[in-house]
């Protein structure tokens, strides 16, 4: 029989109270108690201890690894549910009977309980059943590596595949064991693992239905890599980042606050704008990303510059490679879109006046059309064109805003680009507009149509891909 034990918390109660359960001592240690006390004790009013819990991820590694050990490892786990005041469900973690300091298995926690500053995150909704009752948690998957059979790259891959498997029916929900078994054997034995290369990570993602790309490797162009990473994060695509200096891998799932104050400093604006243009990339106004690092608690903030207050003791500038899990129809890559955009600014006859904050992102055309249709402050003629025109399944968007417009969350220029366009295609544009002109591609006439002398007022920017979290 499954038991559910409720333990109430007060100011004096910490997670060391779990040690009063005799059978749990194989599943928890002082390090785990310290971690739980540090991050969860401030808001937890009670916990529910579930036992036995048969966790599919732990079992998948048990049968390919722990069952072969001389020492006896149990098959079952404990699951600890965290409840805040007013009976608000904050998520759960699984306690595994493995090595010291790596007891925390599959974990789903509410970011609202863990963040100290506003953020823009990817997360999904997950169902949890407790004693016949269904609860829901909005979160992103996380677990610790066990250091023996799985290492950081395996765990980073797992977080992303589990997120996609929950969000989209075309993707599976592989276990950690499935991922380990999918490592290409020509790179060495699977267990114990000595680490994965970006190529191995890409290969595993390919086996699970993605068309990944590997970016980076040039330490002299880390600024360009960070801008590219930010564009994919703005697109709602989580990324596996790999750091040579840290010999580590982790997943990037969002970014921190937008530093609007930067735009009040003309000298600094001139320093960060793109060379020979009046374009300021949106990514230059963001100095942090949010990550899932298996050595740290969920939803840690990765800063551009490490300070004594940083969650993470390495910086964004220490990212060496990014492995991006793209869908098969996402063929045109960010750096190609960016180069075409620069050429359009230089040689095209449509102009955007003054300094422009530019946000570049991928999205589905269905999602974009749905958002535009619901937007009340967009010019009706422009809305009608975007909603009714033919587009590829996925499109790149470039939103352009003057400084004051950007601060208000508005755009006055937009470029929509065919994400299925070939690398050598010079005219991938589906639509573009500034404040006076709209130009769009009519697929049936195979030509561009133009509407001039319009008066487009700034309208609400598209923010569907990431969810803002306010603390």
> For every one of its 471 residues, what pLDDT tens digit does the chain have, with 9 covering 90 and above?
999 999 999 888 999 999 999 889 999 999 999 999 999 999 999 999 999 999 999 999 888 877 777 878 899 999 999 999 999 999 999 999 998 999 999 999 999 999 989 999 999 999 999 999 999 999 999 999 887 767 899 999 999 999 999 999 999 899 999 998 888 665 555 554 557 899 999 999 999 999 999 999 988 899 999 999 999 999 999 999 999 999 999 999 999 999 999 999 999 999 999 999 999 999 999 999 999 999 999 999 999 999 999 999 999 999 999 999 999 889 999 999 999 999 999 999 999 999 999 999 999 999 999 999 999 999 999 999 999 999 999 999 999 999 999 999 999 999 999 999 988 888 899 999 999 999 999 888 888 888 888 999 999 999 888 999 986
The closest alpha carbon to 195, from 141, 161, 246, 237, belongs to 246
Is 212 inside a domain boundary? yes
Domain shared by 247 and 373, yes or no: no
127 with 22, same domain: the answer is yes
Mark whether 309 and 401 lie in a shared domain.
no
Tell me whether residue 234 is in a domain. yes
Q: Are 311 and 352 contained in the same domain?
A: no
Identify whether residues 291 and 386 lie together within a single domain: no
The reply to whether 270 falls in a domain is no
Which of helix, strand or coil describes residue 431? strand
Q: Are residues 375 and 311 in the same domain?
A: no
- 341 and 423 in a single domain? The answer is yes
In a domain, 352, yes or no: yes
Range of the domain at 447: 334-469
Is residue 305 domain-shared with residue 370, that is, in the same domain? Answer: no
- Separation of alpha carbons 460 and 428, rounded Å: 25
Q: Under a CB-based contact definition with an 8 Å cutoff, are residues 87 and 110 in contact?
A: no
**In a domain? residue 465:** yes
Clarify whether residues 293 and 388 are in a common domain. no
Rounded to 5 degrees, φ, ψ at 124 are -125, 175
| 318 and 348, same domain (yes or no) | no
Residues 352 and 319 in one domain: no
> What sign results for the dihedral spanned by CA atoms 291, 169, 201, 79?
positive
In the chain, the number of structural domains is 2
Q: Which two structure tokens, joined as six digits, stand for 65? A: 């690894």
């Amino acid at each position: 029989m499954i038991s559910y034990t409720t333990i109430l918390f007060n100011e004096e109660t910490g997670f060391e109270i779990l040690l009063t359960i005799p059978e749990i001592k194989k599943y928890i240690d002082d390090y785990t108690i310290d971690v739980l006390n540090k991050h969860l004790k401030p808001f937890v009013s009670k916990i529910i201890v579930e036992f036995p819990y048969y966790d599919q991820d732990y079992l998948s590694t048990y049968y390919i690894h722990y069952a072969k050990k001389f020492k006896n490892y149990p098959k079952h786990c404990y699951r600890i549910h965290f409840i805040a005041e007013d009976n608000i469900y904050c998520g759960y973690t699984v306690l595994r009977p493995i090595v010291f300091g790596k007891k925390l298995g599959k974990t789903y926690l509410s970011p609202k309980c863990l963040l100290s500053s506003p953020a823009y995150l990817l997360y999904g909704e997950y169902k949890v059943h407790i004693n016949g009752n269904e609860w829901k948690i909005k979160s992103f998957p996380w677990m610790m590596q066990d250091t023996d059979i799985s290492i950081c790259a395996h765990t980073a891959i797992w977080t992303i595949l589990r997120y996609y498997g929950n969000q989209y029916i075309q993707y599976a929900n592989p276990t950690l064991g499935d991922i380990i078994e999918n490592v290409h054997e020509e790179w060495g034995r699977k267990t114990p693992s000595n680490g994965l290369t970006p190529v191995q990570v890409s290969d595993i993602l390919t086996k699970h239905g993605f068309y990944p790309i590997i970016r980076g490797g040039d330490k002299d162009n880390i600024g360009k890599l960070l801008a590219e990473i930010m564009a994919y994060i703005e697109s709602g695509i989580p990324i596996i980042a790999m750091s040579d200096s840290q010999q580590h891998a982790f997943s990037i799932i969002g970014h921190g606050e937008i530093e609007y104050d930067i735009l009040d400093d003309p000298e600094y604006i001139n320093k960060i704008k793109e060379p020979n243009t009046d374009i300021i990339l949106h990514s230059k106004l963001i100095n942090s990303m949010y990550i899932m690092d298996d050595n740290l608690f969920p939803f840690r903030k990765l800063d551009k510059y490490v300070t004594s207050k940083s969650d993470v003791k390495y910086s964004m500038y220490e990212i060496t490679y990014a492995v991006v899990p793209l869908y098969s129809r996402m063929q045109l890559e960010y750096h190609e879109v960016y180069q075409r955009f620069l050429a359009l600014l230089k040689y095209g006859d449509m102009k955007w006046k003054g300094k422009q904050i530019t946000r570049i992102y991928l999205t589905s055309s269905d999602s974009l059309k749905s958002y535009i249709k619901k937007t009340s402050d967009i010019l009706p003629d422009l809305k009608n064109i975007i909603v009714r025109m033919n587009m590829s399944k996925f499109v790149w968007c470039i939103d352009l805003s003057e400084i004051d417009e950007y601060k208000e969350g508005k755009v006055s220029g937009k470029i929509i680009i065919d994400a299925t366009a070939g690398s050598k295609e010079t005219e991938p544009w589906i639509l573009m507009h500034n404040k006076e002109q709209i130009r769009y591609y009519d697929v049936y006439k195979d030509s561009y149509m133009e509407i001039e002398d319009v008066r487009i007022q700034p309208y609400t920017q598209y923010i569907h891909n990431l969810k803002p979290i306010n603390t």
